[in-house]
A and B are shown apart, each in its own frame.
Chain A
C-alpha cells in the first residue's frame, strides 16, 4: 500500500466518523438549516466515495462522475453559505451566482457533449472559485462576532484552494504515463484528510458539548 492509498483510506475513515457524529447531532440541531445542509453535504460526499469505490472495483472509467461531484458540491455548499450569510444582498448574490454558473455549465454540455468524458476545466474553476470567495466573505462576516462554522470554513478554503489547481491539471495527469504524475494525487488526498479533520474539529468544538445541554 503506498502513501496515496494510506491517506485516501484515512480520509475515508475520518469521513465516516464525521457522518456518524454529525448524524447524531441531527436530533439536537435539526432546527438549524445550516447544520442540516452541511450534514447532507458530508452524507453526499460519503455516498460518492462508495460509488467511486464500486466503479474502481469493477474497473469502470469514473471520470464522468467528477462532473456530478463538482456541481452537487457547488450547489450544496452554496445553500450552506446562503444560510450562513446574514445580509440579504449577500444571499441574493449567492442565488444569482448559482443560477448563472449552472446555466453556463448546462449550455456548455449541450453544445460540447464530448467534455463529459474528461475533466472539464471551466466547470472545475466555476464551481470552486465562488466557494472560495464565499468562504473568505464568511471570514469577513464573522470578524469580531460569534465564530460560526469557522473550522469548516477554514477547511473549505484550504481544500478548495489547493485541489482546484490539481483538478484543472487533471486531464494532463490522467493522460500521462509517468509514475511521478500519478503520485501527485497524494496532494489531493492529504488536503482531503485535512478538510475532514477540520470538519471533525468543528463538530468537537461547536456541537459535542452543546449536545449535553
Chain B
C-alpha cells in the first residue's frame, strides 16, 4: 500500500505570478488542485475608511492607488459620482480630455496585461515589447499631468491640466503606430501553437455562471454576454463614438485574450474619432463651488474600467467629506470565481487562469 497525502501549498503572498501580494492556499493531489482558497488583505490600506475624513478632492489621489495600472478610470469614477450628485456640468473640452486619457489608459492597461500574461505563460520577450509601447502612453500622461502612474488628473467638474501644445498631435500619431504594433503582436504570439495549447479551453465557464458571480469586463464578455457599460449605460461622451464590443463564445482564457487585444483596437478607434472631434478651445474646469459639498443622499455610479465595472457608492450627509464611500472594484468581484475554476486543474493552469482574470491586487484589497 502506498500512502498518499495531499500537499498543502501556499502560492504567495510572495510569488512571481500572483501579481502582487496575493495568496492562494491550494491543496494538491500530485499536481492537481483539489481545493483552492484565496487569501487577501495584504494590501488593504483602508481607503474607504481614510476617505471618510477627507474631502472629495483629497480622495482623488487615493483612487489612483487602488488600481494603479488604470488610475485614470479610477479618478473618473469618483469625480463622476460627485458630479452626478451635485448635478454639475463638465465643459466639453474637459470631458473630451477625460475620455481620451481613459481610452489611452485602457490601451496601456491591456498592454500590461498582455505582457505579464505571456510572462506567466513563460514567454519573456512579449513583456518587453508591450512595455515599450506602453511607455509611449505613460510619457503622454507624464507630459499632460506630470506623473507616470498615479496621475491625480481629474477634478470634480473638470480636469486639472489642459493639454499642452502639440500633445493632441502626439496622441494622433500614436494611434497608427499602435495599430501596427498590434499586428506585430498577433504575428508574434497569437498563432503560437504552444501558447494556444496553453490557453484554449482553460478556465471555462458559461454565461449563467459569469452573471451569477457578477463578473464584468472581458471576463463577462468572453461568454458572449454583450455588456459593456460604455454601450449599455453610456456615460461621458461614449454615445457619440462608433465602436464595437468584442464578444467571445467559449468563455475560456483564449477568448479573454482575444477580447482584450480587440479592445485595444476598439479603443484606438474611439481615440481616432475623439482626437478628430476635440474642441479647439474652451474651459477645462466647470463652475464648481469652492467647497465641494454634495447634497445629502446617496448615489451609485459605474463605469467600464479595463478590468470591468468599477463602481462608486457615495453616501453623503451634505458635508464636504463623504459619510460612506464604497468602491465596487472589478478585480475583487472577478476574482471570486477563482476557487470554483481551479478545482481539478493543474498548478500550471492555476497561473494561466489567475492571469486570465486580470487582477490588480491594489484594487482587490483597496
**A and B associate in one complex:** no
Q: B-side interface residues toward A, CB under 8 Å?
A: none
Q: A-side interface residues toward B, CB under 8 Å?
A: none
